[in-house]
Amino acid sequence: MNRICYVGRPDPTNHQLMMYLTVNGTSPAGAFAGEDAISVDLSKVVAQQSGGSWIVTDTSSIMLNFGISEANARRAVWIIKKYGFTHQCFVGRPHAPMMYFRK
């Protein structure tokens, strides 16, 4: 991976930002040894309002929470679909300090 990108920025309300990594402009592919990954159903990924917050979900779990930012939630959905991310991966759960996406 040679590029790190973001949707949103950290804020005092502690809502998530989305960090994603690319390899020469494409999605990283394949699992890492010992990876903690959840499959993402690309056909169901949407931005929707839930309890006053804008979330990104594939209907089986809340993937990201952008608080009041509808624009960031919709941009995250666009990016997930653009790169074809099929896994949301975590480093150090619970309360993972790092999360990334891959095919």
User: Is pLDDT above 60 for 12?
Assistant: no
**pLDDT tens sequence across 19-52:** 899 999 999 999 988 889 999 999 999 999 999 9
The total number of residues shown for the chain amounts to: 103
* pLDDT (0 to 100) of residue 95: 79
SS3 sequence of 25-92: CECCCCCCCCCEEEECCHHHCEEEEECCEEEEECCCCEEEECCCCHHHHHHHHHHHHHHCCCEEEEEC
What single letter denotes the amino acid at residue 20?
Y
With contact defined as beta carbons under 8 Å apart, do 73 and 54 qualify?
yes
95: Cβ contacts below 8 Å, ≥ 6 apart: none
* pLDDT (0 to 100) of residue 33: 86
* pLDDT (0 to 100) of residue 14: 57
Residue 13: pLDDT band by 50, 70, 90 thresholds?
low
* pLDDT (0 to 100) of residue 32: 85
**pLDDT tens sequence across 66-83:** 989 999 999 999 999 999
Beta carbons within 10 angstroms of residue 19's beta carbon: 14
With contact defined as beta carbons under 8 Å apart, do 42 and 57 qualify?
no
More confident residue, 97 or 75: 75
* pLDDT (0 to 100) of residue 24: 94
* pLDDT (0 to 100) of residue 11: 64
